[in-house]
Amino acid sequence: MSVIIDGSAGVTTNSGAVFNGIASGTAVASTSGTSIDFTGIPSWVKRITVMFNGVSTNGTSTPLIQLGAGSVTTSGYLGAATAYGGVSVGSAVNFTTGFAIGSFNSAANIRHGALILNNISGNIWSCNGTIAISDSAAVGSSAGTISLAGILDRVRITTVNGTDTFDAGTINILFE
Question: What are 73-85's pLDDT values in tens digits?
Answer: 999 999 999 888 7
* C-beta neighbour count of 55 within 10 angstroms: 25
Strand partners, 55: 111
pTM of the predicted model over 0.85: yes
pLDDT in tens, 88-146: 556 678 889 999 998 888 899 999 999 999 999 999 999 999 999 998 888 999 999 99
Q: Which residue, 108, 135, 21, 118, is CA-closest to 65?
A: 118
pLDDT value at residue 83:
86
SS3 57: strand
For the chain, how far is it from start to end, CA to CA, in angstroms? 23
Return the ∠ at Cα 63 (arms to 165 and 125), rounded to 5°: 135
**C-alpha distances in angstroms, 96 versus 76, 111, 136, 169?**
6, 21, 27, 26
Residue 115 to residue 127: CA distance in whole angstroms: 7
SS3 172: strand
